[in-house]
Amino acid sequence: MAPFEPAALPELLPVFYRRLFPHGPYGRWLSYGGVKNYFQLREFSFTLRDDVYLRFQSFSSPQELERELQKINPYKIDIGAVYSHRPNQHNTVHLGAFQPQEKELVFDIDMTDYDDVRSCCSSADICSKCWTLMTIAVRIIDRALVEDLGVRHRLWVYSGRRGVHCWVCDDAVRKWSPALRAAAVEYLSLVKGGADTVKKVNLSHPVHPFIRHSVNVVEKYFEEYALRGQDILGSPEKWDKVLALIPEEHREALQAEFPRRKDSVQRWELLRARLERTRGRPAAQGPCYADWEVMLQFCFPRLDINVSKGLNHLLKSPFSVHPKTGRVSVPLDLQRLDQFDPFAVPTITSLCQELDTANSDGEQEDGGATEPKRRTRDYKKTSLAPYVRVFEQFVEGMESARRGERIRRSDLQGDF
Amino acid sequence: MEFSSRARLKHARLAGDRREQYPHSLQFYLEPPMESISLVEFESFAVDRLKLLKVIENLGVSHVRGTDVYKSKLESELRKLKFPYRALAEDDYEARRKDHISHFILRLAYCQSEDLRRWFLQQEMDLFRYRFNELTESLMQKFLEHANLSFEAVSMARERDAAGEPGGGGGSPPVGLADAVDLFRARKVFIKDGFAYVPFKEIDVIVLNNYRTKLSKALALTARSLPSIQSDERLQPLLNHLSHSYVGPDYSIQKNTGKISLEQIDALSVKSFPLCMRQLHRALRDSHHLRHGGRMQYGLFLKGIGLTLEQALEFWKKEFIRGKVDADKFDKGYAYSIRHSYGKEGRRTDYTPYSCMKIIMSNPPSQGDYHGCPFRHSDPELLKQKLQSYKIPPSGITQVLELVKGVHYQLACQKFFELTHDVDDIGFSLNHPNQYFTESQKLLNGGRELKKEFNNSGNFQQKNNSQESTNSSSTPTSSNAKADTELEGLEAYFTED
């Protein structure tokens, strides 16, 4: 497979939007069952070549969106809010009347926010070692969304380069105020402080169930990721950083003992056991959660509140192409989260190549088929198929919930 | 007030049993009163509630809400004004009725502007919070059920984590996340399935949020239907007065008439005048003239400290003659207006000295004016310089400027009093320049002891209603909310402003 070249985008994007982009389920998703003009009031923004940026695009139907995408072939698609008026007419509305009304609750988790705790890569780079951080983040946040916040319909998406996004689509949540969204982010935040803060996680007794659950998740990955992969106690330099997060009373003993252990795993066990013993201490001295605090500082998700808070924030659309990596922003299959490999995600180049191969094989068979049909089945011939399947399941989930709700309501009203 | 058929039915049902109408000592004020009342009752209920709310405002600034001191003072005020003051389960019908009616009347007066609404909302919330917290747990349950705040006791306790987790024991009612935002965000309560399980001891936060939302909406609605009420000639003047009133002594009846000599004024201006009047006096001496705003503010103040008409005429004339005005011109023009303000000309209304609220709120000074409130109207830098020139210590100046920044102009003046009289605690709540003078004189002359009890007469903290709201950002100061002057007759309720 040839590597992706950004210069090829103008050539590849038309193919992408005609034969690969899943317009069908995409349109069904954003129509939300056809409720009150939802689709028509939605803002999209397109980024064209040379960073030309078109905001406040809106369309009368998913079909129109499809046609426009195939005409404009944007480098990137962003989804914004559902507004009070059609975004493409916002200039005709007098100032103040054009307001965002609803939007999915979204999260953006970016690997660069973890630079202070990963030693394998930094900034835009990722590798299979540090990708585990995203896995942990998805597991922790998703559990909290479902169990604590009662969310049912959420879509996790690979951002295309160095992180993940989450789209929470429940009817009620789409109506949340910015204040409530901000509160949700704070509820989900444990790592506080910037470059100047050494100790970024501080837990007090009693520990909230959310924290307890999150620690349980981290524990499952900690040995493999932090102790073996990142080797956070692998050398005096490294373990000093960790010991800086522990109360002074424990540091000396651990510092003395650490050199005598052979690896991070053993050293961690020492540290953990020592701190766990403090848990039984009487309330006055207080149980110490420093070991949890270390685990969380190294592994707990870091959210950007600005992305989630505002109704008018734009976020990259699922199935948009990342202009720098060429990778498609594909949905994550939560059932197979641990097997997800960001480097195996198809690029637009590889997909187009697959299409070429598939066509030369399949043309004879589909000789009689009509054009549109051939096109809609095209992505199924490529490695995009499983990702579209995940997306379809997500959309179907919402549709079936809506049907169930209609039935329930009509039962209540005694309709037949 | 319209009668819907549903309300009429309800009214008929309730008419027989008055106790049923007000089953609790507090309410959400969801239904307006349906009975007819006399104008006298209308007026007196409204005034009493206004006094109550002003006390609440005052207490909220001077004390930390919820402390014993706060509670006992508020309780005594409620008793005095005959509002429900304790969560009695028994019949407290008259007080509760008064509470109900007066709330709705004040809504009419206070819905008219953003600042008025904000002020009203803040005080009513404080009142509600106090009353709600006075309920016993069982009364609280009953009240919440009655108010239909969909709290269902859910026994999720078994499914929950072991005790010791924050968030309440079994039976905590589930509350929507939007209603418990602060508890949710800070992880102070157990969250499951999109609900917060709020322990009873935190339930007041939820209930208060609920109350605030309801009242806020109601006020907005009331504002929209105001035009029809304003057309009622009986009500309009009263409603106007309510939202602008200063409730306290008006210093129109001078007990000290003639006790001040003109020679004393210079010295008095330095020792006992509030900064606004000291500034005006200085300007008068320096330029031998004051413009109209300054003449009114200062002239009435002087009347309030006891200057007779004759003294006033002499005082102003002597000064103006040193300027550009000759005796004739003075007699023809300025003298007339001085007599006018003493009630000897024209309408013959005895004009009353301006209260702090009036000075702060109306007629801001422009270039060449010296009236107004220095804490409100002076540039902070200039104010600082002035205080420095009066030899106020830097720490004191900082305190004053902090209060000014926080829009607490009268508190800043109180602090100024404390600094210039070298006392820790001003001992009263300042809201009238003449009050400043009287208190200062008392202090300096070792006058009669300040009355310790806080009675319901004047001296409520007068926060200006059309300023940026101070209420949501006000922090409790250590100054005491003691009052010591008596209310002089009912006529003082509505001072001509």
Task: Pick the closest to residue A159 from A352, A325, A350, A383 (CA basis).
Answer: A325
Average pLDDT value for chain A: 91
B54-to-A31, A211, B101, B458, B471 alpha-carbon distances in Å? 53, 45, 18, 10, 12
Least confident of A58-62, B162-166, B221-225: B162-166
DSSP designation for A336: G
- For the stretch B327-361, what's the b/e string if a residue is b when 16 or more beta carbons lie within 10 angstroms of its beta carbon? eeebeeebbebbbebbeeeeeeeebbbbbbbbbbb
A399-to-A27, A146, A415 alpha-carbon distances in Å? 12, 18, 21
Kindly indicate the confidence band of residue A209, based on its pLDDT and cuts at 50, 70 and 90: very high
The whole-angstrom separation of Cα B190 and Cα B177 is 11
Q: Specify the residue for token string 């007629």.
A: B363
| pLDDT reported for residue B171 | 55
The whole-angstrom separation of Cα A363 and Cα A203 is 62
- Judged by CB atoms closer than 8 Å, whether chains meet at B177 and A182 is answered as no
Kindly indicate the confidence band of residue B425, based on its pLDDT and cuts at 50, 70 and 90: confident
3-state DSSP assignment of residue A316: strand
Report the chain B residue with the minimal C-alpha distance to residue A184: B185
- Segment holding A217, helix H or strand E: helix A209-222
- Alpha carbon A90 to its chain centroid, in Å, reads 30
pLDDT digits (tens, 9 = 90+) for B300-327: 999 999 899 999 999 999 999 998 888 8
Report yes or no: A190 at the B interface, CB cutoff 8 Å: no
Task: Pick the closest to residue A139 from A398, A338, A395 (CA basis).
Answer: A338
| pLDDT reported for residue B149 | 56
What percent of chain B is predicted at pLDDT more than 70?
75
Contacts of B222 (CB under 8 A, 6+ apart): B107, B108, B111
The residues with which A321 forms a beta bridge, in sequence order, are A328
Kindly indicate the confidence band of residue B237, based on its pLDDT and cuts at 50, 70 and 90: confident
Tokens in use for A307? Answer: 């992305």
Dihedral sign for Cα A275, A281, A286, A292, please. positive
Sheet holding A163-168, edge to edge: A105-110, A163-168, A154-158
| pLDDT reported for residue B377 | 92
pLDDT digits (tens, 9 = 90+) for A291-328: 999 999 999 999 999 999 999 999 999 999 999 999 99
- Judged by CB atoms closer than 8 Å, whether chains meet at B193 and A150 is answered as yes
Report yes or no: B163 at the A interface, CB cutoff 8 Å: no
The whole-angstrom separation of Cα A178 and Cα A106 is 12
Whether B196 has a pLDDT exceeding 70, the answer reads yes
- Judged by CB atoms closer than 8 Å, whether chains meet at B166 and A211 is answered as no
Report the chain B residue with the minimal C-alpha distance to residue A185: B185
3-state DSSP assignment of residue A27: helix
The predicted model gives A32-57 an average pLDDT of 94
pLDDT digits (tens, 9 = 90+) for B436-495: 999 899 888 875 433 332 333 333 333 333 333 333 333 333 232 222 222 222 222 332
Q: Which of A183, A206, A207 sits opposite B184 (nearest CB)?
A: A183
Q: Tell me the backbone φ, ψ of residue B151, rounded to 5 degrees.
A: -100, 115
Report yes or no: A187 at the B interface, CB cutoff 8 Å: yes
3-state DSSP assignment of residue A164: strand
The predicted model gives A99-105 an average pLDDT of 96
The residues with which A167 forms a beta bridge, in sequence order, are A106, A155
Beta-sheet strands, E only, within B101-201: 174-176, 190-192, 195-197
Q: Which of B160, B164, B187 sits opposite A210 (nearest CB)?
A: B187
Report yes or no: A286 at the B interface, CB cutoff 8 Å: no
Q: Can you give the pTM of this predicted structure?
A: 0.63
B73-to-A297, B62, B85, B482 alpha-carbon distances in Å? 49, 11, 11, 10
Number of Cβ within a 10 Å radius of residue B390: 14
Whether A175 has a pLDDT exceeding 80, the answer reads yes
Tokens in use for A384? Answer: 């995009």
Angle, CA of B272, B278 and B282, to the nearest 5°: 135
Q: Is B111 annotated as a binding residue?
A: no
B136-to-B140, B142, B169 alpha-carbon distances in Å? 6, 10, 18
DSSP designation for A188: T
The whole-angstrom separation of Cα B487 and Cα B458 is 6
Report yes or no: A209 at the B interface, CB cutoff 8 Å: yes
Q: Which residues of B touch A210 (CB under 8 A)?
A: 187, 191
Kindly indicate the confidence band of residue B268, based on its pLDDT and cuts at 50, 70 and 90: very high
Q: Which of B164, B185, B192 sits opposite A187 (nearest CB)?
A: B185
| pLDDT reported for residue B356 | 87
Contacts of B386 (CB under 8 A, 6+ apart): B275, B279, B374, B378
Q: Tell me whether strands A163-168 and A154-158 are parallel, antiparallel or unpaired.
A: antiparallel
Report yes or no: B181 at the A interface, CB cutoff 8 Å: yes
- Judged by CB atoms closer than 8 Å, whether chains meet at A187 and B187 is answered as yes
- For the stretch A150-183, what's the b/e string if a residue is b when 16 or more beta carbons lie within 10 angstroms of its beta carbon? bbebbbbbbbbbbbbbbbbbbbebbebeeebbbb
Number of Cβ within a 10 Å radius of residue B467: 16
Tokens in use for A30? Answer: 């954003």
Kindly indicate the confidence band of residue B16, based on its pLDDT and cuts at 50, 70 and 90: very low
Report yes or no: B177 at the A interface, CB cutoff 8 Å: yes
The predicted model gives B16-20 an average pLDDT of 59
What DSSP line would sit under A131-154, residue for residue?
A: THHHHHHHHHHHHIIIIIS----E
Report yes or no: B185 at the A interface, CB cutoff 8 Å: yes
Q: Specify the residue for token string 């309330």.
A: A283
pLDDT digits (tens, 9 = 90+) for B25-43: 888 898 888 888 888 888 8
Least confident of A190-194, A358-362, B369-373: A358-362
| pLDDT reported for residue B350 | 63
The whole-angstrom separation of Cα B256 and Cα B311 is 13
Report yes or no: B192 at the A interface, CB cutoff 8 Å: yes
pLDDT digits (tens, 9 = 90+) for B332-387: 888 888 888 887 777 666 678 898 888 888 788 988 899 999 999 998 999 999 99
| pLDDT reported for residue B484 | 24
Residues 120-159 of A with CB under 8 A from B: 147-151
Do residues A263 and A270 lie in contact, with contact meaning Cβ atoms separated by under 8 Å? Answer: no
The larger pLDDT score, comparing residue B185 to residue A409, is at: B185
3-state DSSP assignment of residue A119: coil
Dihedral sign for Cα A280, A285, A291, A296, please. positive
Task: Pick the closest to residue A357 from A380, A382, A321 (CA basis).
Answer: A382
Count CB pairs under 8 A between chains A and B.
54
B367-to-B300, B374, B378 alpha-carbon distances in Å? 22, 14, 11
Report the chain B residue with the minimal C-alpha distance to residue A146: B193
Average pLDDT value for chain B: 76
Beta-sheet strands, E only, within A118-227: 154-158, 163-168
| pLDDT reported for residue B98 | 92
Q: Which residues of A touch B185 (CB under 8 A)?
A: 182-184, 186-187
| pLDDT reported for residue B448 | 45
Least confident of B202-206, B329-333, B355-359: B202-206
- Judged by CB atoms closer than 8 Å, whether chains meet at A177 and B190 is answered as no
This complex has an ipTM of 0.90
Q: Tell me whether strands A154-158 and A105-110 are parallel, antiparallel or unpaired.
A: unpaired
Q: Which residues of B touch A182 (CB under 8 A)?
A: 185
Q: How far is B123 from chain A (nearest CA, A)?
A: 24
Q: Which residues of A are catalytic?
A: 43, 108, 110
Kindly indicate the confidence band of residue B85, based on its pLDDT and cuts at 50, 70 and 90: confident
Task: Pick the closest to residue A44 from A7, A19, A72 (CA basis).
Answer: A72
Do residues B86 and B96 lie in contact, with contact meaning Cβ atoms separated by under 8 Å? Answer: no
- Judged by CB atoms closer than 8 Å, whether chains meet at B192 and A182 is answered as no
DSSP designation for B165: B
What DSSP line would sit under B358-423, residue for residue?
A: HHHHS----TT---S-HHHHS-HHHHHHHHHHTT--HHHHHHHHHHHHTT-HHHHHHHHHHHHHT-
| pLDDT reported for residue B254 | 58
DSSP designation for B326: -
Least confident of A125-134, B94-103, B176-185, B279-288: B176-185
Q: Which residues of A touch B165 (CB under 8 A)?
A: 206-209
